[in-house]
A = this chain, B = another copy of it.
Amino acid sequence: MNAHAFPERTDKKAIEEGDLMRPKFDEHGLIPCITVDAASKDVLMFAYMNAEALRLTLTTGKATYFSRSRNKLWIKGEESGLVQKVKNVRVDCDQDVVMIEVEVTGTGCCHQGFRSCFYRRVADPENLRLEFTDERVFDPKAVYKKG
């Protein structure tokens, strides 16, 4: 058992009605995480955590994910400065999803320069046309290409 291990998942009742966190990690050792703005309640982004990322999120209070594309721990804001201060960590009924409520340091969360990653809605379901509903709030080139 490693340092980041979480309690064993026993029976359904303990998982769904109990008061102990027993997160379920998938076959890749990851759990999905929904990130919500603690103030506006807007869904900001969706990413994955491994056990280490979840532990760090809980203990440091800084949202930490696992980047599947870069295959490494991802402390949100490390590069961009757009740190997410964690106000609350939630689990769903069967504890295979995490939701965190965060305060965003800076203007946004999305690498495209929007506050939220969900900046488009389907305007025409027939033709699958998307409509932009949000405005860009920062220049992603300036924020992400400092180095």
- Chain A interface residues (CB < 8 Å from chain B): 6-7, 16-21, 32, 34, 36, 40-43, 45-46, 58-59, 88-93, 97, 99, 110-112, 114, 117-122, 125, 128-132
Contacts and interface: CB of A to CB of B under 8 A. Distances in A.
Contacts of A20: 128-130
Contacts of A43: 34, 36, 43, 99
3 tightest Cβ-Cβ pairs between the two chains A and B = A21-B128, A58-B125, A92-B117
B34 A121 contact: no
Contacts of A59: 125
A87 to B, nearest CB: 10
Copies in the complex: 2
A91 B112 contact: no
B42 A130 contact: no
A34 B18 contact: no
A118 B92 contact: yes
Nearest to A118: B90
A93 B122 contact: no
A16 B114 CA distance: 11
A6 B128 CA distance: 9
A89 B122 contact: yes
A6 B138 CA distance: 31
